[in-house]
Chain A
Amino acid sequence: MSNAPLLKLSGMEQVFETKKGPVPAVGGVDLEVKPGKVLCLVGESGCGKTTTARAAAGLTKPTAGTVEFRGKNLAEMTAAERGQYRRAVQYIHQDPYAALNPTRTVFSTLSAGLKKHGIVKNRTEARAKAAELLQLVDLTPPESYLDSYPHQLSGGQRQRVNVARSLALNPDLLICDESTSMLDVSIRVSLLNTLGRLRDELDVGFLFITHDLAVAKYFAWDGEIAVMYLGKVVEHGPTPEVIGNPQHPYTKALIGAVCEPDPDLAKANRSAEQLRSAEIPSLRDLPAGCAFHPRCPAFEPGLCDAAEPPLQATPSRRKLSCHVVHRDLQRATPDATLTFDAVPGSRRPETESAL
């Protein structure tokens, strides 16, 4: 398979018209997903992650910019091309309880798409294919699940059925919108491991949306992360770089805010730097200049509130939109890389003497 992107969003904007005025949910993003690769979108609620995913899945029409699948613009596809696109791109929703039809058995849910697209000819074939799908997502033996209704399954099992359904049509791209956030810790890891196997063995590309940085790090380690804030990408690069050495003050704050299961580390970080405000500004009334400046600990009056920072490449293998970081990079190139405190809250009390 070529290295051409499966999915390409260029300058994608989505403005919702409401009674109280326009809401720019996504303000121009450029993103790509390659086959067998993961692009992870992270950010807080209202940052435009889901809106981006819905446009990528063709569920909404962007108000500006384009969505291309295998080089074809979604808006200009013929009916046949669109049919193919629909087969090739599947969506896994957040809530495993709401995403399954409660009146259909697992078999009926899994076979609906197979029948619709003419992949199976009769019931026997459909059952065999459905059983195969269940096996793929570790619901074994499949016979004990095929005739179950969703209410007979636990949340983790339901989410596996959702994954199996999305795989029924051999997709090239899976769009996962917070697909693991409602699951318990132990189940979440096993589902992510299953998805990882699909990515590696079937070369499925992923647009993976999560608010949980740990999940992003775990699943997208070989891929990329794009951090979104108020409808824009603020930092975008390879996962180990962005998570291990965040540069944008917003990414730093997000990573510093994660609670790790380590009481000593937690105690040591209680005095960590605080944001200037805990509240997210409204999309209807975005702050002037950098949208993060009212909350940013590195805020500099006159610089940050004057103009919007562009998303520019930096020497540290990523794109970044921050006036302060870019200026400091220009001023002092040699030591602008990494210090131990680059990740706030990584310092444990015992290790201080060791350094």
Chain B
Amino acid sequence: MSDPILSVRDLSIAYRTGRKESVTAVSGIDLDLYEGQSLALVGESGCGKTTLGLGLLRLLPNLGEITSGSLTYRLKDGSRADLLQMKKEPLRRFRWNEAAMVFQGAMNAFNPVIRIFDHFADTLRDHADGKKWTKAAVEARAGELLETVRLDPDRVLQSYPHELSGGMKQRALIALAIALDPQVLVLDEPTTALDLLTQRSIVQQLHELRKKFGFTMVFITHDLGLAAELADRVATMYAGRIIETGSARDIFYDPKHPYTAGLINAVMPVKGDRPALESIPGYPPSLKAMPDGCAFNPRCAFATDACKQDRVPLSLLTERPSGMDHSVACLHHDQVRLARSATDQLASFVEGESANV
């Protein structure tokens, strides 16, 4: 694989909380994303995953600010550009043509007083690079996209957002995001608040769209099941930093950070037997009062004095191609195990099944 489509170096993002105060929500992110990959940013509320996702497109709200780092994209024409240096007009052209976002909460992402058609028309006209979008052209493009996500264009384009169900809105939103064929798509909690069966159909649709359009995907989720379903790569975030990153198989079958392992151990399986589950003790730290050393040390069973001294940087465990290296920020990673591996669970399930039959 060639050079990355997106390189993030030492990215930090802070929110102003007062005239001279601010809290750092995301710090020191390094990330290389290669064409066609799908990366999941996982973590619990407040870990900075949404802030990082918004930061990747410079879409932070007014109080948020990128305080350091660089964000280099490889554009469609092959040139490279640092997003943080971009002026307003190039930035507007960049968004949607090069990278687009599907915001959290399909219910509220559309303007409730204009029809779906007008959302497509506004987006295409506003972000298009010199192309004239006539009504017929918009209809043709929108119709094609809606059909790919299995919606009926004639009905949906004439509808107001409230006339569509949650799943239909989410699908229309995804169709809208890829309207100008972006190379990178950032999705924030794409299936949260949707019903189980609707979630499943969105997941299926995203697989198909990736196959068809080949975009690179970053998606933000707290649902590890969804990450296993959609991601090639996973990055776990805790207290504003990436604390473990690797291929989906490395992360799910052999996590090396106690927090990642804790998250996976806390997932309740539906298939197989019912293990007793352990939760991670305590609560995540406040951004205003971050513990010294490793931010996870107050909740960690492996913590020693060394963990309370200096922040633990990510270190490489296993080298893999195309940025899939398994790296972890933990001094005691060699002691971390999953409570029960997935294979164990399935083995016991199979035994149970044969006993029943």
Taking beta carbons and an 8 Å cutoff, which residues of A are in contact with B? 44-45, 154-157, 184-190, 193, 211, 213-215, 217-218, 221, 240, 243-245, 253-266, 270, 274-275, 278-280, 337-340, 343, 345-346, 348, 350-351, 354-355
Contact (Cβ within 8 A) B45 A185? no
Contact of B268 among A189, A256, A278, A339 (CB under 8 A): A189
B residues in contact with A262, CB < 8 Å: 228, 252, 342
A residues in contact with B167, CB < 8 Å: 278-279
CB distance from B14 to the nearest CB of A (A): 21
CB distance from A58 to the nearest CB of B (A): 28
A residues in contact with B353, CB < 8 Å: 338, 340
B residues in contact with A263, CB < 8 Å: 228-229, 231, 248-249, 252-253
11 contacts between A and B (CB under 8 A): A184-B222, A186-B262, A189-B268, A214-B267, A257-B200, A258-B270, A259-B223, A259-B229, A260-B270, A262-B252, A265-B346
Contact of A261 among B207, B224, B277, B283 (CB under 8 A): B224
Complex: chain A residue closest to B195, CB-CB = A44
Complex: chain A residue closest to B271, CB-CB = A346
Contacts A217-B270, A345-B271; A261 near B262 (Cβ below 8 A): no
Contact (Cβ within 8 A) A279 B222? no
Q: Tally B residues with Cβ within 8 Å of A.
A: 55
Contact (Cβ within 8 A) B207 A255? no
Residue B336 at the chain A interface, CB threshold 8 Å: no
Distance of A340 Cα from B352 Cα, bound (Å): 10
Complex: chain B residue closest to A354, CB-CB = B350
* B168-214 contacts to A (CB < 8 Å): 168, 195-201, 203-204, 207
Contact (Cβ within 8 A) B196 A185? no
CB distance from A199 to the nearest CB of B (A): 15
Complex: chain B residue closest to A271, CB-CB = B204
Contact (Cβ within 8 A) A261 B268? no
Distance of A213 Cα from B225 Cα, bound (Å): 13
Distance of A346 Cα from B356 Cα, bound (Å): 16
Distance of A279 Cα from B272 Cα, bound (Å): 29
Contact (Cβ within 8 A) A245 B197? no
CB distance from B198 to the nearest CB of A (A): 6
Contact (Cβ within 8 A) B229 A278? no
Complex: chain B residue closest to A279, CB-CB = B165
Contact (Cβ within 8 A) A255 B271? yes
Complex: chain B residue closest to A196, CB-CB = B276
A residues in contact with B223, CB < 8 Å: 259
B residues in contact with A217, CB < 8 Å: 268-270, 274
Distance of A57 Cα from B157 Cα, bound (Å): 43
Contact (Cβ within 8 A) B228 A259? yes
Contacts A213-B270, A338-B357; A193 near B196 (Cβ below 8 A): no
